[in-house]
């Protein structure tokens, strides 16, 4: 059995999702995931601390990309324009691999209460990263929280639409198109609340 291949992390994610679908999250072991991926348990633990972490893979990177996009927005950008820049930054890094795995990850999370709770924590982490980046730009706490929550909702909505296996074959291929549209919809909805 090979000890290392450059796509080990991706192979572990795919193997885990296959097993979660076949036998359920609780019944799947780390050893089974590693075996299915053609890797060792020690390789698994080089990439993930436990099997739950597979479903949150990339959360730290996503939060960082959102914050970096906000930070790099022009100084004249409003809080919502800065969040839009964060969404563009994060969306631009999502690949076809992310799109294909989206529905499978969603199904695994929805089938397990612990994973649903963990997924909610992921959203909180994304929002916190954006709030911090906005506050570093001088945005007040309340405005930073509102803008960040709109950003999280826009990302989740856009990602769900982008990764929907039933989406039109002629639909745009880039995630950024979906997150921008979702963010525009949410901004318009927020304006109606006055």
Which of 93, 71, 95 shows the shortest CA–CA distance to 81? Answer: 71
Domain 8-54 has CATH 1.10.630.10: no
pLDDT tens, 15-46? 998 998 899 889 999 999 999 999 999 999 99
**Both tokens assigned to 143:** 């405005």
CB 87 within 8 A of CB 183: yes
Domain 59-191 has CATH 3.40.50.460: no
- Stretch(es) of the chain classified as CATH 1.10.357.10: 59-191
In three-state secondary structure terms, 26 is: coil
Q: What's the rounded Cα separation, in Å, for the pair 152 and 78?
A: 17
Question: Residue 157: phi, psi to the nearest 5?
Answer: -65, -45
- Stretch(es) of the chain classified as CATH 1.10.10.60: 8-54
Reported as half-sphere exposure (CB side, CA atoms, 13 A), residue 42 has a value of: 3
Query: 33 versus 2: which is more confidently predicted?
Result: 33
Q: What's the rounded Cα separation, in Å, for the pair 37 and 14?
A: 8
Which has the minimum average pLDDT: 57-61, 103-107, 182-186? 57-61
pLDDT tens, 73-118? 999 999 999 999 999 999 999 988 888 888 888 888 888 888 888 8
pLDDT tens, 156-167? 999 999 999 888
pLDDT number for residue 6: 52
């Amino acid at each position: 059995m090979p000890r290392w291949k450059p796509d080990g992390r991706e192979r572990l994610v795919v193997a885990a999702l296959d097993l979660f679908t076949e036998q359920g999250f609780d019944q799947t072991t780390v050893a089974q995931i590693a075996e299915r991926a053609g890797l060792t348990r020690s390789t698994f633990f080089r990439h993930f601390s436990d099997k739950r972490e597979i479903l949150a893979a990339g959360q730290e990177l996503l939060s960082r990309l959102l914050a970096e996009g906000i930070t790099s927005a022009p100084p004249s950008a409003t809080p919502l324009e800065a969040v839009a820049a964060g969404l563009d930054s994060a969306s631009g890094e999502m690949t076809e691999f992310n799109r294909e795995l989206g529905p499978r990850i969603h199904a695994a999370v929805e089938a397990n209460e612990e994973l649903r709770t963990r997924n909610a924590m992921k959203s909180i982490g994304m929002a916190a990263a954006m709030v911090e980046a906005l506050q570093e730009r001088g945005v007040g706490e309340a405005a930073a929280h509102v803008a960040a929550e709109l950003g999280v909702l826009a990302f989740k909505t856009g990602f769900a639409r982008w990764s929907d296996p039933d989406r039109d074959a002629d639909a745009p291929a880039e995630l950024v198109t979906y997150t921008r549209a979702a963010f525009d919809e949410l901004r318009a909805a927020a304006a109606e609340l006055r």
